[in-house]
Chains A and B, each alone.
Chain A
């Protein structure tokens, strides 16, 4: 029983001479057969996976963008408002500190997002500064 046509990259029971032995021998070792079959599955699954990787659904980049844009806009508006209020109040020290802490790179730190890149309901740094602004406003009213 020859196997001159066997391809080296497909070393599985289904393609090799051994497979015939297994097929013929109904009492063959089930475990061995299953393992060998798993190689075929893996080979095809891997090829499919690679082809699939190159076939991302085209709309996904845009849909991600559109989903996050509004939340980004809300955060940007909140940060802008904090800065506007602080500057208007003449709180130059707070203002300066806020420009550092509310910088986009700090706000967009991945620790504030979950694995789906969803933002916490109240971004803690923005929230902190909103409270600082409120405190300044209160002080200004008293003064």
Chain B
């Protein structure tokens, strides 16, 4: 700290003065550090919520379709084949971890890529490709650009 110790007009116990200065400096420092640490953690949280949300929209969407097709499995031609594909797709998305570690993210990328392919196969098989049409646009619209919010000030 640079509060001109050398300029102090000494007539009382110097150590005591310096101790007081140091003590209050440290007190302030802790408060400042806590404040900025908290602020950064909050920023991290906002970004974490957004990223998690954006990444798992597709997973949930596939899950919804899988449940729908499974419920109506009897109505499809080649239902045995459809059921088999559905089982594989279900297994793929069920195991995707929702944490942000390096391994988990790699797992996510791999599983989602496979799941997308599987999804196309099934949709074609049951002749319902319209249900996965413009899926990327949908994901982008719902999870995408935050700045399009009409009341940006209300967000965090």
Binding site for B on A (CB under 8 A): 3, 5-7, 10, 14-17, 19-20, 23, 37, 40-57, 60-89, 99, 102-111, 113, 117, 119
Contacts and interface: CB of A to CB of B under 8 A. Distances in A.
Nearest to B41: A64
Given A7-B7, A20-B11, A69-B52, A44 B1 contact: yes
A41 B20 contact: yes
Contacts, number: 278
Interface stretch (B75-83, B84-92, B144-152): B144-152
| Chain A to chain B: the 3 pairs with minimum beta-carbon distance, closest first | A84-B64, A52-B32, A80-B60
Nearest to B93: A77
A68 B155 contact: no
B28 A49 contact: yes
Interface residues of B, number: 76
A138 B83 CA distance: 23
Given A65-B51, A70-B52, A108-B156, 8 more contacts: A56-B36, A56-B40, A64-B45, A76-B54, A76-B59, A80-B61, A81-B61, A82-B64
B47 to A, nearest CB: 6
Determine chain A's interface SS by DSSP, over half rule.
Answer: helix
Given A52-B35, A79-B57, A40 B41 contact: no
Interface string B37-73: 1111111111111111111111111111101110000
Contacts of A56: 33, 36-37, 39-40
B155 to A, nearest CB: 6
Contacts of A117: 42, 45-46, 49, 156
Contacts of B109: none
Contact of A45 (B27, B41, B60): B27
Contacts of B26: 48
Q: Which of A23, A56, A67, A76 has the most CB of B within 10 A?
A: A76
A7 to B, nearest CB: 5
A131 to B, nearest CB: 15
A105 to B, nearest CB: 3
A14 B24 contact: no
Contacts of A99: 138, 141-142
B133 to A, nearest CB: 9
